[in-house]
Amino acid sequence: MTNEPKQASGISTDRLLAGIVVALTITLWLLWSGSLLLSNDEFLSFYTDSVPTAAGIIAVQLHYPISLDPPAYHLLSHFSMDLIGRNATALRLPALAGFLLLELALFSLVRRLAGSRSAVVAMLFPVLTASFDYTVEGRPYSLLLGLYAVAFLCWFVASQTCRTSSRILALAGLVTSIALAITSHYFGVLILIPVSCAELARVIQRRRLDPGITIALVLGAAFIALVLPFQHGLAPYRAHYYVKQVTVHNISQGYRELFVRYTTWPMPMQRLAALLLVLATLALAIATYRRFRDKPASEPTSLWCGLVALTALPFFGFLLGRFVTHTMEVRYVIATLIAFAVCIGLVLEARLRSNAFYYGLFIAMVFIAILGCGHSIRLERRNTANILESLHITPQLAAVLAAHPGDRIYIQTLDKFYQDAYYTPDPALRARFSLVYDQDREIHWLDHDTNYVTAVNMSHFTQLSTTPYTALLTQREPIVISYKSGWPWIYEELSATHIPMRSLGPALGGAALEIYPLAAQTR
């Protein structure tokens, strides 16, 4: 099953290199996370996970969710916050743990198949990809990467061992990883496909069921019943959700954005990057086929069936999104990265026996990881500095606010509201922010009411201020912060209804407007 004896002299060195990969991952995560402001989706998780008790999180997700996931990741994040405080680091810690699980599971699986050197390369490969970005996002996606990898590893170990203790541990890990994946994200149910395909191929080959693995799969799948009640809380979002259509484009995007997010590049560079990715994928596919054709007799075909199913995860995600959930994002199916990492480790097995090639490749991969992440960290630091600088108000606006010390400052865009209410340096100013919402007007201008539903739901369990647009129109001279990005709609509504307004200049990354709704009503 493994060529480990051929590399016995390098085992301790390879484990040292594996430790370096883990240390590199943690170091890059600390530097990157420390440079990155919370995003809109992270704020949704942050306020959910900051409720005082675990039971409170269950209640939020059942009745008035703002982060549209089952509760498992939120509970992990909540417990992390209990340990180290209500902050971005605690929110993102489960994502880092998931990526570390991915690395360790890849090392353990590939080491069994092709030795420690291939295992080191396989575990390092994901750090070079765009999928590593999800480790610094306090959402379930990086955790899903780790859970998928652990589930596949546990299935493989359980299918290959007869030792009672090892098999029981592997079966328990299989149940736990499936259960956590399903209860962390609604697309986590896809975890059943690769392990079930692998086991089905094994059953066909053996012509009999494996009771232990079958029971483990059934027990893991049973956790679907636990997430069904949380569908009720999603009902208000479904009628006018902002994601409108799932298309075949999601499939190709699901592969491309595993490795590089180049959609903001100039078009010639985008085309070149797409071509290079296609060529690299074809080369890997050819090399993988040859590796499968010449595989050791002890290497099970069922394993390759599972890898093929993992590779096809964007197709399965498309089908689930198109016909069941009616929404799909690339990040829901990034676990297909596992198959690419495993295949890269396997096809390089023979080449890695050369010390020069092995150590040269390791150094090159580490260099690329540091270079790529370092570039992202520099960009984030620059972006963070610009955003924080924009949160200082102008003297003109300060004078107007001083003349109306008790008045609210109304913000029309959800992500900017969260950002301003959390990062504005003046606590007195932060306390005055209020999010404006209106279902009918949002549907008219934005073609969705996600902002409205979120505002209503978060009023049940946060201290953040929200204001209906109709209440805003009863104020004498309210101040509105208008933004061009995000989901802007109030400026268009004010203009369409001919409500007088006066510009107070730039403020909080947008534009401050003093409006006169009562004057419009008396004309």
Q: What per-residue confidence (pLDDT) applies to 11?
A: 53
Q: Where are the beta strands (DSSP E) in 473-522?
A: 479-482, 501-507, 510-515
Q: Are residues 137 and 178 in the same domain?
A: yes
Q: Are residues 378 and 395 in the same domain?
A: no
Q: Are residues 366 and 397 in the same domain?
A: no
Q: What per-residue confidence (pLDDT) applies to 7?
A: 45
Please give the full DSSP string across 311-380, using - where no structure is assigned.
HTHHHHHHHHIIIIIS---GGGGGGGHHHHHHHHHHHTTTGGGSHHHHHHHHHHHHHHHHHHHHHHHHHH
Residue 475 lies in a domain: yes
Residue 125 lies in a domain: yes
* CA gap 352, 318 in Å, rounded: 36
Q: Which tens digits make up the pLDDT trace of 104-147?
A: 999 999 999 999 999 999 999 999 999 999 999 999 999 999 99
- DSSP summary character for residue 394: P
Q: Tokens for 235, please give them.
A: 């009902």
Q: Are residues 46 and 192 in the same domain?
A: yes
Quick one: which of 100, 96, 166, 173 has its CA closest to 138? 96
SS3 487: coil
Report yes or no: 448 and 442 within 8 Å, Cβ to Cβ.
yes
| Exposure of 139 in the CB half-sphere (CA atoms within 13 A) | 22
Residue 236 lies in a domain: no
Q: What confidence category does residue 521 fall into, taking pLDDT thresholds of 50, 70 and 90?
A: low
Q: Flag whether pLDDT at 515 surpasses 50.
A: yes
Q: Which tens digits make up the pLDDT trace of 84-98?
A: 999 999 999 999 999
Q: Are residues 417 and 484 in the same domain?
A: yes
Q: Which tens digits make up the pLDDT trace of 12-31?
A: 899 999 999 999 999 999 99
The gap between the terminal CA atoms of the chain, to the nearest Å, is 85
Strand order in the sheet with 465-468: 465-468, 433-437, 409-411, 479-482, 510-515, 501-507
Q: Tokens for 130, please give them.
A: 């765009």
Residue 39 lies in a domain: yes
Query: Of 356, 382, 408, which residue constitutes the final position of a domain?
Result: 382
Residue 248 lies in a domain: yes
Q: Are residues 70 and 39 in the same domain?
A: yes
SS3 262: coil
Residue 350 lies in a domain: yes
Q: Are residues 373 and 406 in the same domain?
A: no
For 402, the domain range is 391-522
Q: Are residues 418 and 306 in the same domain?
A: no
Q: Are residues 358 and 470 in the same domain?
A: no
- DSSP summary character for residue 197: H
Q: Are residues 180 and 321 in the same domain?
A: yes
* CA gap 309, 296 in Å, rounded: 21
Q: Which tens digits make up the pLDDT trace of 161-208?
A: 877 889 999 999 999 999 999 999 999 999 999 999 999 999 999 999
Residue 235 lies in a domain: no
Q: Are residues 399 and 376 in the same domain?
A: no
Which residues 6+ apart lie within 8 Å of 246 measured at CB? 318, 321, 322, 326, 327, 328
CA distances from 231 to 39, 70, 183, 193, 240 (A): 24, 9, 12, 22, 16
User: Whole-structure pTM over 0.85, yes or no?
Assistant: yes
* CA gap 276, 477 in Å, rounded: 57
What value does the mean pLDDT of the chain take? Answer: 91
Query: Of 333, 365, 382, which residue constitutes the final position of a domain?
Result: 382
Residue 480 lies in a domain: yes
> Structurally, how many domains does the chain consist of?
2
Which residues 6+ apart lie within 8 Å of 443 measured at CB? 240, 449
Query: What Rg do the C-alpha atoms of the chain give, in angstroms?
Result: 26
Q: What confidence category does residue 8 fall into, taking pLDDT thresholds of 50, 70 and 90?
A: very low
| Exposure of 362 in the CB half-sphere (CA atoms within 13 A) | 23
Q: Are residues 458 and 405 in the same domain?
A: yes
Query: Of 316, 349, 382, which residue constitutes the final position of a domain?
Result: 382
Q: Tokens for 449, please give them.
A: 């009411």
